[in-house]
Amino acid sequence: MKKKLILISNDDGINANGIKALVQAVKHLGDIIVVAPESARSAMSNAITTRKPMRANFISENENVKIYTCSGTPTDCNKIALNQILNRTPDIVLSGINHGSNSSISVLYSGTMGICLDACVYGIPAVGFSLCSFDHKEDLSEAMKIAEKITALILEKGLPHGTCLNVNIPKGKVNGIKICRQTKGHWQEIFLTGKDPSGKDFYWLGGDFINDEKGIEGTDETAIENGFASVVPIKIDMTDYDLLNELNSWNID
């Protein structure tokens, strides 16, 4: 049987501990090609670079792990890997381990999940892993075990065309894995505002996540709060079929 080919990327950049941990966790499962951003590209969603050229650089090869960087966005990494670096379609695309949660509606803004959604468009099974801690020195050992387990499972079972997995792992001891739906929530934006050294106003975007379904079972946020890793199947067909039927009764035309 042909050895599996595993493409790995992230949005924290090539030097993040999370992507190094992910490579270690799954490198016995196949040949690894890493194509990751040169530096941090958080909250880039599915952004792609079309208005200027990109760079790709070969960094190293060691045993079955080959590493490249790309100057573009996380999704650019996936596209340049599939089109310019790999000589065959990977069996799976993995993203992460992200430093920080991508649960609930963060999936819309996440570069980690952008990579997976882009892989979905091409029918490649994809899984994004995020550790719910922004501390880049957080212990990754539990997240690595979960990443290994889920990667092995998806390499065996596959995923339907157009659907990927969004896996979020609480910090500390993990009680198990729960299959969940995306929690309804929002970000409460907090802009740091002030005057720059030249006296001109600036606005610096930050904020806190607000869970609008606090304590509701079956959601990814509740699973994580209870110490479980959450697995949400995410699909690229964003059509709201319920509203589609209703709109037809409006006689818009």
Reduced to 3 states, what is the DSSP secondary structure of residue 29? Answer: helix
Q: Does 182 bind its own copies (CB under 8 A)?
A: yes
Six token digits for residue 201: 């106003």
Q: How far is the CB of 44 from its own copies (least distance, A)?
A: 5
Does position 184 bind its own copies by CB under 8 A?
A: yes
Q: Is 237 in the site for its own copies (CB under 8 A)?
A: yes
Among positions 55-84, residues that touch its own copies (CB under 8 A) are 55-56, 72-73, 75-76, 79-80, 82-84
| Residue 99 near its own copies by CB under 8 A | no
Q: Is 248 left (phi over 0), alpha (psi -120 to 50) or beta?
A: alpha
Near its own copies by CB under 8 A: residue from 186, 215, 216, 227: 186
3-class SS of residue 118: helix
> Rounded to the nearest whole angstrom, what is the least distance from the CB of residue 172 to its own copies in the complex?
17
Contacting residues for 90 by C-beta, under 8 A, at least 6 apart: 5, 6, 7, 33, 81, 82, 124
Q: Which of 59, 64, 179, 214 binds its own copies (CB under 8 A)?
A: 179
Task: Fill in the amino acid letter for 189.
Answer: E
Q: Is 159 in the site for its own copies (CB under 8 A)?
A: yes
Among 3, 89, 153, 217, binds its own copies (CB under 8 A): 153
Tell me how far apart the alpha carbons of residues 228 and 176 are, in angstroms, rounded to a whole number: 5
Q: Total residues contacting its own copies (rule CB under 8 A)?
A: 82
Tell which residue, 237, 90, 112, 81, has the closest CA to residue 162: 237
From candidates 49, 66, 145, 225, binder to its own copies by CB under 8 A: 49
